[in-house]
Copies of this chain bind each other. A is one copy, B any other.
Amino acid sequence: MDIAPEVIKAKDASFTLATLDTDVKDRALKAMADALDANRKRILDANALDVGDAQKAYEKGELSYSMVKRLVVTDEKIDGMIAGIRDVISLKDPVGETMSTLELDDDLILYQIRCPIGVLGVIFESRPDVVPQIMSLCLKSGNAVVFKGGKEASNSNAALFDILTEAAYSSGIPKGSFVLMRSREDVNTILSMDGYIDLLIPRGSNSFVRYIQDNTRIPVLGHAAGICHVYMDEHADMKKGLEVMIDSKIQYPAVCNAVETYLINSKMASEVLGTLDSRLHDAGVEIRADTVAIGMMPHAIPAKDSDWDEEYNDLIVSVKVVDSVDEAIEFINRHGSHHTDCIITEDRDAKIRFIKGVDSADVFVNASTRFADGYRFGKGAEVGISTNKIHSRGPVGMEGLMIYKYVLIGDGQVVKDYVGKDARRFTHKVLDREFRA
């Protein structure tokens, strides 16, 4: 089956999708949630096929046990999918929002209004849970979507897709709004369809994201690498800082917002490095230290130059001693991936220098890099983390030369306190307050 005609139909559908009233979309979302509930057996049966195949692959050593585990859909996971769709229903419809209003003259008023992007191409690996999440977010925001999940989950994805589209289309959503890609060839086909797809969101390995970036003219949202830093300043609260540093590394090392390099101010080195060394060693973390740090870290091995540009995604960390916050900033801007970087300090001037100077999407003060996440940022579901810097449409003045960064001011919080049983809950309360460091 050729995917191209389906993508062209999705573009057509997107124009109608952009005009739908909120209640039409919410009714469709409700129908989608109900359809999942009514079709549990169909989902579980399809999933059993995938899990069976995965089990065989695991036995042959072709797939890891954690991959097999992530693939499994249970009744509880279906409950989670349903709850996720209901969450999206409760989100405010952003389409049509007035962003600004300007009178140009008597009876000549300029409004700035939110509207959907059009057709999104979403390519992700692994878990079937993502199918309802992506479809519901795209529907509520009025975007059509052409998407592909992991090969291992193909039966589960197809079942979920069919159930969800049937429910959506029978509730007034334009037919063709959702397209499921079935193969890698489909992905290669859509990469050249820049006249029909407005934005690609690939999620997966660095090499996969780079392959996409290198082979399409369609704008790509996301990030290839997550090389994050924690800098411990000379005015740091050491105890607080150590917890943040450890959490940033070990709370979930396989993901993009885990730290890869610690920078330690030379005035703190003798006080910090010994403890840091034993904490990391106890946690099973391999330490790669520069020539200064290695003398104070008994368990460290020497870092190579290439270590400063590497994303380990593993229980490995590099450590470097620097002489000032400015040196830390310069190092981060040169070696980081402009994703998430953190300073540990109690000094107001150092905070401000770091916040202003670090050119990253997320700049944190005294808080774990692992907070860089759509759910934790109060956005509900997330489509990806972007290190892109462009964003404008229509006549562009000075405001179009701008992008934002997220500045998170904490007091030593760590993510591990916010997960699992008895987790602290986010308040996500909107404040009316100007930024202050």
Contacts and interface: CB of A to CB of B under 8 A. Distances in A.
A213 interface: yes
Contacts of A385: 394-396
A131 interface: no
Interface stretch (A34-42, A265-273, A295-303, A397-405): A397-405
Contact of A403 (B104, B117, B217, B373): B117
Contacts of A435: 96, 98, 101, 111, 113
The number of times this chain is found in the oligomer is 2
Given A101-B433, A104-B427, A397 B377 contact: yes
A345 to B, nearest CB: 15
Interface string A330-364: 10010000000000000000000101110101100
B393 A381 contact: no
A359 B141 CA distance: 15
Contacts of A100: 430
A401 B105 contact: no
Main SS class of interface, A: mixed
A390 interface: yes
A310 to B, nearest CB: 17
Interface stretch (A62-70, A158-166, A316-324, A407-415): A407-415
Interface string A367-404: 10001111011111111111111111111111111111
B15 A402 contact: no
A116 interface: yes
Given A115-B402, A221-B392, A409-B109, A432 B99 contact: no
B118 A408 contact: no
A120 interface: yes
B388 A118 contact: no
Interface in A87-103: 88, 91, 94-96, 98-103
7 contacts: A15-B333, A103-B427, A109-B431, A199-B390, A374-B395, A381-B397, A394-B405
Nearest first, the 8 closest Cβ-Cβ pairs linking A and B are A391-B391, A379-B397, A361-B394, A19-B356, A374-B395, A141-B401, A98-B435, A107-B411
